[in-house]
Amino acid sequence: MSEEKPHLVPSWLTKDYVQEKLSAYFKTDSLKLEKLNIQPAIANGENYASVMTRINVEYTTNESKEKVVTNFLVKTTFPDKDPVCHMLIKYGVYTREMDMYERILPKMADLVKEEIQDPRRLFAGTINVDKTTDSIIFEDLSLEHYKVACRLKKLDLEHTHLVLEKLASFHAAGAVLAERKLGFFKENYDRGFYNKHTRGYQPVMTNLLKALSRSLNFDQELRQRYQAKIDRLVDRVMVYGERSTTNNPGDFVTLTHGDLWTTNVMFQYDGKGHPTNAIFIDFQFSVWNSPAIDLHYFFSTSIHDNLRLQDQPKLIQFYYYKLKDALQKVKYSGHIPSLFDFQLQFRSRAFYGAFASMMFEPFMLYNGKEEASLEQIISEDKSGMRFKDDVFQQEDVIKKMHLTLPYLEQWGLLDDM
């Protein structure tokens, strides 16, 4: 069993630093930070591209006689020497997310509130964006009883509909923002997991596929029917992935979340346990592309299997009419595709769902004893190989492949394309 890495606390995250940032945010020179406690914000296996830290603070100001006790979240990058940082920096993920929180999300939130007329939160409020330390300080929405759903249990229809409704508003706001502010997404919004500029994620994709292939040796039916097809995909996965994210003339495109799965959505509930709002977090892979990539990724990683395998056309229809309504409310002047055309657009990007369900979903659902990290996926040492094999050789994963692989095969997604 590999030991979990210790939580990395940045050396610059001190009382003086936090006091300075809070003073600027609250616009007061009298803020005095009495206490600062630092601890990990999420468990192992919940986040793979950054370090999340919760800071508990106690402070006073001249304007308030009472001591304030509260929490904030701090998001930071991996150290420069970390191999994952070396890979991710090619995608511009850290500068992109800072730009999202500082420049873009506030404008999108205003559009959703004022024109789509949805007063609910769209994202967590930003306390500070610091480009010298590559860090962001957010509100801790757990204080408002927002929480992440269980990545292992996934989402039922009620949660899924709520996410699709909010996603439609997000996509509509991104489309009209680009229309009103030409060039707004010109720089650094062209590099998702698959793109025309870098193949930094290739070791991740190929190593996961190879581990999937090895796991099929433990199931004769799967091995005979699918192993050769999986092995052929190893050399073609980046090409097929890039095709699935290539925009064609006439496609509806917008700002996508880019990494929409269970742990990147937080829900708020009413007194009877029904979800009343969903907000998105983690915008490192936001990219200008078809909204279909968000739908494929979300369906393939985050919803109940019966919804994923049987109800996708109905879910797309639900999303489409929410999107169309939101685009009309913001007076979007571009072409809004018909439902028929949008279903075709979704189908043309189907390989995005194939890679997510075959490779990413088993990794995301891993609950074993090995250290779960991107570094372990990239690594070909004993620890890395043991981790990847443990991911795909879990009984639940092999069982699920009896559903996933036939579903993908019937659409021709495991054959030459």
Position 391 confidence tier, pLDDT thresholds 50, 70, 90: very high
Among 173, 241, 157, smallest CA distance to 417 is for 241
pLDDT at 288 over 80: yes
pLDDT band, very low/low/confident/very high, at 10 (cuts 50, 70, 90): confident
Count CB-CB contacts under 10 A for residue 192: 23
Q: What is the pLDDT, as a whole number, of residue 48?
A: 55
pLDDT class for 186, splitting at 50, 70, 90? confident
Q: What are phi and psi of 286, to 5 degrees?
A: -60, 135
- CA dist., res. 107 & res. 200, Å (int): 31
List domains and CATH numbers for the chain.
90-120+148-410 (3.90.1200)
The most distant pair of C-alpha atoms in the chain lies apart, rounded to whole Å, by 73
Q: What is the pLDDT of residues 100-142, one digit of tens each?
A: 999 999 999 999 999 999 999 999 999 999 999 989 999 999 9
Q: What is the pLDDT of residue 6?
A: 54
| In the predicted structure, residue 1 carries a pLDDT above the cut 50 | no
Quote the pLDDT of residue 87: 80
Number of neighbours of residue 220 by Cβ within 10 angstroms: 9
> 19 and 34 in contact (C-beta within 8 Å)?
no
Confidence bin at 2 (pLDDT 50/70/90): very low
Torsion on CA atoms 86, 91, 93, 95, rounded to nearest 10:
90
**Mean pLDDT confidence for 185-202:** 93
Kindly write down the DSSP assignment for every residue of 165-210, as one continuous string.
Answer: HHHHHHHHHHHHHHHHSTTTT-SS-S-SSS-SS--TTHHHHHHHHH
Edge to edge, what strands does the sheet with 32-40 contain? Answer: 32-40, 51-61, 64-76, 135-139, 126-130
Least confident of 58-72, 204-218, 353-367: 58-72
Over the stretch 62-95, which tens digit does the pLDDT of each residue have?
A: 888 789 999 999 998 765 546 677 788 888 888 9
Using pLDDT thresholds of 50, 70 and 90, give the confidence band for residue 45: very low
Q: Which of 176-190, 307-321, 324-338 has the lowest mean pLDDT?
A: 176-190
From CA 302, how far away is CA 277, in angstroms rounded? Answer: 17
The CA-atom distances, in angstroms, between 193 and each of 190, 200, 238 are 10, 9, 9
Please say if the pLDDT value at position 46 is more than 60.
no
Q: For residue 61, what pLDDT is reported?
A: 93
pLDDT class for 43, splitting at 50, 70, 90?
Answer: low
pLDDT-wise least confident of 50-54, 148-152, 326-330, 365-369: 50-54
Tell me the per-residue pLDDT of 194-213, one tens digit each, with 9 for 90 and over: 999 999 999 999 999 999 99
